[in-house]
Structure 1
């Protein structure tokens, strides 16, 4: 199994997911495509946690770069030891996969809380912006959505975007988890097949010089 190629595939798969998360979180600031409601007083606090922008977006850049660069890592960087370089690369990928897991988990939790709490809106029974849904029952009872008057269609907007963020971060969590396992196996096995000094069967130059 080529652990570097597997990591690269995972990195490529994470790119559209990270971009999608950033876009979804950005859209949450503009309910129904309108710009007059993007203030802390009118939007749910979960929107301002930036789960999609920070957690599933910017934090995911680090594992993406590491995963995509693993295939071209120099495996002969540790005193000519043919497996040391790849072991280190796989170990480092585990660390950065952990960063990806943390970011995706953060977004996943924020999205789950947002769906449970519901949006903040100008309710028909109140003159201020409040959370009219207390325990998530509104998800199964669409007749309750009429409680929100402003922003227009805020419940649909809120539920749709946070549900998509929940799914996106869940997929990221799975992909980063796969790389944790992949990197751990690569670290244990010490895969190395990329360098001439290691793969050619010839001893390293410093070893030849020591006997010249």
Structure 2
């Protein structure tokens, strides 16, 4: 596959991943399909949702990169050695954006959601009950592997499953984006040296 065609494929592949991350992050603003959290973000919203990892990082930044990478692969003014060099730079932006989305998603998964939690002593209050201090961080004790504790989040209903599914989706999409943007950096380097073979398509 020539470098131009490869750029076109990578650009097109990044579009749905970026849109998916944006949609997932927007849905996270409505935990358990409830609008109450968005009205009280400091009290009821999971903090990592407000970092906008899926919207700004794996969403907008990668989408901008995807457009430029796609243009570098299409016959025309951008499909040349200069365009390929620019695609290396813009792919770096895509890697940074998707890394940001990945880190925020990992934090969201590790810390867990903010919810109305029923503690063992019967006390009920809004908290981030599954968060563990970094010095005591132990994945074996994580709530992710202890689904029996999820029901203690009384409100929003099903918030733990909601957060786990959406943050995991952003995490998976971000990993694929990092790989694709990394491939484009290598592809762009070859495009700078060998050209895009744009006449072939």
Return the TM-score normalized by structure 1.
0.82
* CA deviations over 1:25-62 (Å, ceiling 9, x no partner): 00001112111122221011100001111111111222
Aligned to 1:91: 85
Indicate the structure (1 or 2) with the bigger Cα radius of gyration.
1
Q: 1:55 aligns with which of 43, 50, 57?
A: 57
Stretch moving more, 125-134 or 24-33? 125-134
Superposed CA RMSD: 1.8
Shift of 1:191: 4.2
Shift of 1:129: 1.5
Q: Of Structure 1 and Structure 2, which has the larger fraction of its residues in helix? A: 2
Equivalent residue pairs, number: 186
Q: State the secondary structure of the residue aligned to 1:68.
A: helix
Q: Report 1 or 2 for greater relative contact order, CA contacts < 8 Å, sequence distance ≥ 6.
A: 2
Is there any run of 5+ residues in structure 1 with no aligned partner, and where?
76-84, 195-212
Q: 1:185 aligns with which of 187, 190, 196?
A: 190
Aligned to 1:128: 125
Shift of 1:103: 0.5
CA distance in 1, matches of 2:47, 2:118: 21
Q: 1:108 aligns with which of 90, 102, 105?
A: 102
Shift of 1:161: 0.6
- Pair 1:165-2:170 in alignment: yes
Q: State the secondary structure of the residue aligned to 1:133.
A: coil
The list of structure 1 runs, each at least 4 consecutive aligned residues, that deviate by more than 3 angstroms after superposition, is 190-194
Q: State the secondary structure of the residue aligned to 1:149.
A: strand
Return the TM-score normalized by structure 2.
0.86
Q: State the secondary structure of the residue aligned to 2:154.
A: strand
CA distance in 1, matches of 2:32, 2:144: 19
Q: State the secondary structure of the residue aligned to 1:72.
A: coil
Shift of 1:20: 0.6
* 8 Å CA contact retained: 1:132, 1:147: no
Aligned to 1:74: 77
* CA deviations over 1:108-164 (Å, ceiling 9, x no partner): 000001100001111112443211113451111111112211111111101111011
